[in-house]
Structure 1
Amino acid sequence: MEAKMSVGVYGMGRFGSFWAKELAKHGFSVVGYGRSAKTAPEGVRLGSEDEVLACSVLFFCVSISSFSEVLDRTSSRIADTTVVMDTCSVKLYPAKQMREKLPKQVQCIATHPMFGPDSGKNGVQGLPLVISAVRCEDSTLQFWVEEFKRWNLQVLQMSCDQHDREAAWSQGITHFIGRTLSELSLGDTELATTGYKTLLTVMQQTCNDPLQLFYDLQRYNPYARQMRMGLKGALDTVMDALKKQEEGR
């Protein structure tokens, strides 16, 4: 597989535009498509849906909840030689969709760049990216592992199940806490400690992402409910301990 092949980015929302720009910065010929996209980031050319689907490599940067429907509409137009990757924040669900809905001869890989426009605004060096083979040749997977390492990313090879299990207690809980804090309408104060400022940063970064991402993280990660129940149990434990202190027990 030659480096610098044509790469299509399907979905030019906040993350898709960011990801397309990163691919272009690293030397790829990038074509982007989004239903409402009017402009493209530096180094990226907007193309038609069919043009993007015909690229040598295709990254889907769409919401988790729309991924199945997008594959239904596009899979028959994806070339047998195209390598397809998702960028969803959960992995078991999109891997299952690609395995079932893409033609059997199409190679597919599950990825999760665990960063975005906020965390990657000063560069992506050192940030983690998860990659997992769904249905592909070893050489194809190794090409992309080495390519992402060339970006100085922290490339993590793991199963989709391990990703979702761990992500529920890292990304999932972070988004849950951030959205919960936003319901309190917290703001700046002269009394802000470093810890409080960190909480505000968590709230701001998670709320910069689409609300649909929060819902999708909770719905499509099979371990998210367990995380929420654990969080609720921990909160109940702390509240009970405080109540006992107040009652002098």
Structure 2
Amino acid sequence: MEASLDYHFGTQLQTHIKTPTSLKIAIIGFGNVAQFLAKAFVSQGHTVLAHSRSDHSDTAAKLGVSFFNDPHDLCEEHPEVVMLCTSILSTKSVLESIPFQRLRRSTLFVDVLSVKEFPRSLFLEILPEEFDILCTHPMFGPESDKKGWAGLPFMYDKVRIGNDDIRISRCGRFLDVFAREGCRMVEMSCADHDKYAAESQFITHTMGRILERFGFESSSINTKGAKDSFDLYYGLSMYNSNAMEQLEKLESAFQSVKRELSGNLQSLYSRQLFEDEGE
């Protein structure tokens, strides 16, 4: 899904006046989702920097974002917030490639992955102890931009936030970006998120892939649907410890429905057979 990019939009954003509450936010990984989120950051007056393996400098310029080809140069800008916007599968390698020594101590690290226990564990394992950690999951994507974010859930877990006023305020100002857009703010532990997500998101993706392989013929009354990448689906299954349990429950539920249907059909057949013999 491509986020819509408007040149005039980016030009207008340059005129925003920075406020005392504005943040300097660095985004690592600048694909569709990152660009989608960057638009909201810039529109609210925040300074946004970006780095990615691919060159997105032209797109960044249109959005009012400063793009850096070298992560060292980006980190030397001393962003207050570093947001990882990578795929689940590449998160560890990207995190390990960041030159932490060039950042200010106590920098806030944020992720936006669809699984939460995995990045939480990585952050706690790899990041210096002085850095703050906020795990989040915007439960929407670039397609939601057409209707706005009002009422859409934004999950977050303050995994490690310093107890001084500056750190607390910085975390609050970042979360306020989504609150101001009208999101329904949901504070939840990473463990609970993954439990609920396996019951809903993973099963939904699984059913979509099953139906994709079913071999339906195209018709004039087809309905539109969204298609996720296999990397995302693989990440949801491999990095959510609840996924396999839900897959087993799905298989069990399918077998239960199949047995119920077979039993009812057998009962109907037997009833009809007896009625025919009685005539």
Q: Which bin holds the TM-score, normalised by the shorter protein?
A: 0.7 to 0.9
- The aligned counterpart of 1:189 is 219
- Indicate yes or no: 2:179 matched with 1:149: yes
- Say which SS state the counterpart of residue 132 (structure 1) adopts: strand
- The aligned counterpart of 2:261 is 242
Q: Separation in 1 of the partners of 2:66 and 2:84?
A: 16
1:149-188 superposed matches below 5 A? 149-186=179-216
Q: Separation in 2 of the partners of 1:246 and 1:29?
A: 65
Q: Separation in 2 of the partners of 1:8 and 1:227?
A: 36
Root mean square deviation, CA, Å: 2.2
- Say which SS state the counterpart of residue 100 (structure 1) adopts: helix
- The aligned counterpart of 2:93 is 69
Q: Structure 1 residues 145 and 18, CA, compared in 2 at 3 Å: closer, same or farther?
A: closer
Q: Structure 1 residues 85 and 179, CA, compared in 2 at 3 Å: closer, same or farther?
A: same
- Say which SS state the counterpart of residue 97 (structure 1) adopts: helix
Q: Structure 1 residues 178 and 5, CA, compared in 2 at 3 Å: closer, same or farther?
A: same
Structure 2 residues not aligned, in runs of 5+: 1-18, 271-279
Residue type of the partner of 2:93? E
Instruction: Compute the displacement of 1:191 (Å).
Output: 5.1
- The aligned counterpart of 1:84 is 109
Contact map agreement 1:20 1:32 (CA 8 A) in 2: no
Q: Structure 1 residues 219 and 156, CA, compared in 2 at 3 Å: closer, same or farther?
A: same
Q: Structure 1 residues 130 and 51, CA, compared in 2 at 3 Å: closer, same or farther?
A: farther
Residue type of the partner of 1:44? V
- The aligned counterpart of 1:36 is 54
Moved more, 162-171 or 136-145: 136-145
Select the residue among 44, 52, 62 that pairs with 1:26.
44
Moved more, 39-48 or 183-192: 183-192
TM-score of the superposed pair, with normalisation by structure 1 = 0.87
Q: Structure 1 residues 223 and 44, CA, compared in 2 at 3 Å: closer, same or farther?
A: same
Residue type of the partner of 2:45? G
- Indicate yes or no: 2:29 matched with 1:7: no
Contact map agreement 2:108 2:171 (CA 8 A) in 1: no
Q: Separation in 2 of the partners of 1:179 and 1:123?
A: 28
Instruction: Compute the displacement of 1:178 (Å).
Output: 1.7
Moved more, 12-21 or 165-174: 12-21
Aligned length: 238
Q: Structure 1 residues 156 and 183, CA, compared in 2 at 3 Å: closer, same or farther?
A: same
Instruction: Compute the displacement of 1:187 (Å).
Output: 5.9
Q: Separation in 2 of the partners of 1:227 and 1:183?
A: 20
User: 1:89-116: CA deviations, max 9, x gaps?
Assistant: 1111101110110011011110111111
- Say which SS state the counterpart of residue 98 (structure 2) adopts: helix
Select the residue among 114, 117, 131 that pairs with 2:139.
114
Q: Separation in 2 of the partners of 1:94 and 1:75?
A: 18
Moved more, 57-66 or 21-30: 21-30
Instruction: Compute the displacement of 1:246 (Å).
Output: 3.1
- Say which SS state the counterpart of residue 143 (structure 2) adopts: coil
Q: Structure 1 residues 72 and 8, CA, compared in 2 at 3 Å: closer, same or farther?
A: same
- The aligned counterpart of 1:214 is 233
- Say which SS state the counterpart of residue 141 (structure 2) adopts: coil
Structure number with bigger Rg: 2
TM-score of the superposed pair, with normalisation by structure 2 = 0.78
Q: Structure 1 residues 188 and 91, CA, compared in 2 at 3 Å: closer, same or farther?
A: same
